[in-house]
Structure 1
Amino acid sequence: MTTLAAPLAFSGADAAPCLVSRPATRLLIQRGDTELVVQELKPSAAASTVRFPAPWPRRFGRCAVSPAGDLAVFTGPHALQAVDQAGNVQWELRHRCWGGCAGHEAFTEYADERDHRYASSGSAGFSADGTLVWAHIRGPLAHEQPDRGRGTEEWLVINAGDGTVLARARTHTAAAGSFHVPHPDPNQMGLTIGEGQEGSPLRWGRWDGDTLAVDSFGGENRVLLAVSPTGDRLLTVTHDQDTVALHRVSDGAVEAELSAVAVPRHPSVESEPSGTFEDDETQAFFDYGGGFLNEDTVVVGTVESDEEFGTGRHWLVDTARMRLTDRLTYPFEVSGLPQALGDGTWYTVSDTENALHVWAL
């Protein structure tokens, strides 16, 4: 459909750009070491660009952008920091360090410390209406007693306007990292927490205006990929990448699953003499990426397992039967994972990470 140039000139210090679909607009987002760039893309208007100064380099944390593109939240080793379009810090919420130190007031104090450079990290995500920030942190908060839940990971619901903590709950995890997946209902949010080889706990949060209730879906073994456009179902992949599944949002129950055994071997394997590879060497597995093109169709990839044999493959899955329907073919070679936007389109990142290609069936 179109190709979008990355907002930042290519550099090893810059993350690949991503695209987020919003009602009547899309946000093209890219994080660099010194700034976060957000381009608002509207069908009938020229793109508008906002640059948020970054309080610390990207390797020290993650970031989230409000649906309107007017506020960015940076997560770091010691704090959450909300920055507006003018570069003003709207609020800051300090918490126990992910690296385990006693605390630092400024980035320059820990910039060269190995414990911070390779520390675990949390994440943040905006609610669908932009009024709430959901944040995964390491407690306690800075204003609390040091021995309150020392080093305990928590999930916070925060007023996006002023940084007030509205609700909180423990996640009972030991994260290496995490990311949020929003739901159309502002009072619901998904959180996937990576614990390295130990697993990938999936937490589902519901806030009723007073209390944050947290459910665990998937037996500590599911990575949340996406929420369906209606908000009724979730798409997950198992930690060992052998199964993708649809879950009901209401209770997390699995509605249907697709095993990677159903994925044909890579075409280049078929051309090799018999006995060249062991069967387990050629078995495809699903990527930690994909999503809903619409309520009836999911796109997933087997890029990671295909790379030894040739071009990575993307697949369409019928959600009614949870069966492969087609392998996607492109007019030119694409790299990376398919990222669905929920409106019938998806995008891929160019091999040099300096552009996005947006596709439709």
Structure 2
Amino acid sequence: MAITAQLLDSVRLPGGSALVNGSAYESRTGSARCALLRNGHELEVHELDELLAGEGAPRAVFPVPWPGWDQGVHSVSPDGTFAVFSGQRSVRAVDARGTTLWEYRHGCWDQQIGHRHTGDPGQICRGIESGSCKVSDDGRLVWAHVVAPERGEGEDDGEYDDLWVVLDAADGSELARLTLDSVASGSQHHSHPDGIHMGLEIGMGQDGILLYWGRWDGEKLTTWDLNETLDRILMDVHPEQPGFLTVEHYGYDIQLHDLDGTVVAEAEPPEPRDDEDPLGWDWACGFVDATTVIASTMEFGDDPEGHRHWLLDARTMEIRGPVDYPTGPVDGFARPLGDGTWLTYDEESDTLSRWRTAPPTPAAS
């Protein structure tokens, strides 16, 4: 049975697709939800509620250190006083004036072996690979996925290690590192609502996905390598409990996991309608709240189309039903916010919308 959605907010927002389809949304425990939007050579920080209410002025603006660099996933401190940028050859923290607070240099993400660098710190190399960084919820740490520093002359063996590093947010000093068995195309961090654990998902193109969890207790970095059992995309973390959601690389199922990777529940795609090709889960799902998951499907055909959204039980992963939007079909992904609502974006009208499940209709007396 279809589940009716109720429209809460709607705003025209060119470029807002990154809030639904990308990595431009930050949620932190006990603080306002932030929208990070790239506007030319600047990174704008908005409070999501204000943005949806039509308030266009950002709360903070940070100059991008390397105007020609449009890759990487960046992060902003919980108090909004500094931003940390994941660059091609360094991770850099800056304040709102663009002043560099610190810089952590690393190897170049361009996978072309032996290419030369000029003395220009703004030089952008040809590769499209990139890393990511994330400021912890307490603002004390920066977790970053980087490339190991380049080897000196005569030391190049044709391979470069990826690293997962924990940095002191105050000065960028390295507190710990983990060498990763990956050749990444890109990555994404996921901070857990418990404020302790950090997840790292690494995309390697046709070579699959790598997934790690870690925590820093002030003295020791403890990590969980889940890659012997998982080749899955980390989509979301539970808003209250130590668990997470993944989608199988090709969309064959969605799984709910404990933090150690143990599968708690699983959902296969719903049965297609008579006029549809077989369905697969698309690369978007997450927790609407602690009890509900939203996920999208697409057709497994030569021309995949027809996104549909479904609500699932967050404990059992049982499909409750498809979402019925009163404004008509909604294409594209749904980005759940964990507070009982979710976002969608209409590419044709550049409209960002927030939804919730419509309350039950009162019974007639």
TM-score range, shorter chain: 0.7 to 0.9
Displacement after TM superposition at 1:233 (Å): 0.8
Identity across the alignment (%): 36
For 1:284 and 1:64, how far apart are their aligned partners in 2?
35
In 1, Cα distance between equivalents of 2:149 and 2:155: 7
* 1:224 corresponding residue in structure 2: 234
TM-score by length of 2: 0.82
Unaligned runs of 5+ in 2: 1-7, 358-365
Select the residue among 122, 146, 170 that pairs with 1:137: 146
Q: Note the alpha carbon deviations across 1:327-359, whole angstroms, 9 max, x for none.
A: 111122323211111111111122148332111
- The alignment status of 1:316 with 2:320, answered yes or no, reads no
Q: Which range is displaced more, 202-211 or 215-224?
A: 215-224
**Residue 337 of structure 1, aligned match among 320, 333, 336:** 333
Q: Distance in 1 between matches of 2:118 and 2:290?
A: 46
- Matched with 1:264 is 271
**Contact persistence 2:194–2:242 (CA under 8 A):** no
Secondary structure of 2:70's aligned partner: helix
Rounded Cα–Cα distance in structure 2 between residues aligned with 1:117 and 1:2: 41
Structure 1's unaligned 5+ residue stretches are: 111-115, 270-281
Which residue of structure 2 aligns with residue 40 of structure 1?
47
**Post-superposition offset of 1:151:** 1.4
Cα RMSD of the aligned pairs, angstroms, is 3.2
| Cα distance in 2 between the residues matched to 1:142 and 1:79 | 15
Within-5 A mapping of 1:1-361:
1-6=8-13, 18-22=24-28, 23-41=30-48, 48-56=58-66, 57-100=68-111, 101-106=115-120, 108-110=122-124, 116-140=125-149, 151-217=160-226, 219-249=229-259, 251-260=260-269, 263-266=270-273, 268-269=275-276, 282-303=277-298, 305=300, 308=303, 311-332=306-327, 333-352=329-348, 354-361=350-357
Native 8 Å contact 1:62 1:74 kept in 2 = yes
Q: CA deviation at 1:162?
A: 1.5
The 1:126/1:146 distance shift into structure 2, 3 A limit, reads farther
Determine helix, strand or coil for the equivalent of 1:90: strand
- 1:102, CA displacement in angstroms? 4.5
1:75-120 deviations in whole A, cap 9, x for unaligned?
Answer: 121111112122222111111111143445435533xxxxx33332
Q: Normalising by the residue count of structure 1, what TM-score does the alignment of the two structures yield?
A: 0.83
Query: Relative contact order, CA 8 A, sep 6+: which one is greater?
Result: 2
Cα deviation, residue 284, structure 1: 1.1
- Structure ranking higher in helix proportion: 1
Deviation, structure 1 residue 29: 1.9
| 1: CA distance, partners of 2:93 / 2:218 | 22
The one-letter code sitting in structure 2 at the alignment partner of 1:162 is: D
Contact 1:268/1:310 (CA < 8 Å) preserved in 2? no
Shift of 1:141: 7.3
Paired residues in the alignment total 337
Letter in 1 for 2:251: Q
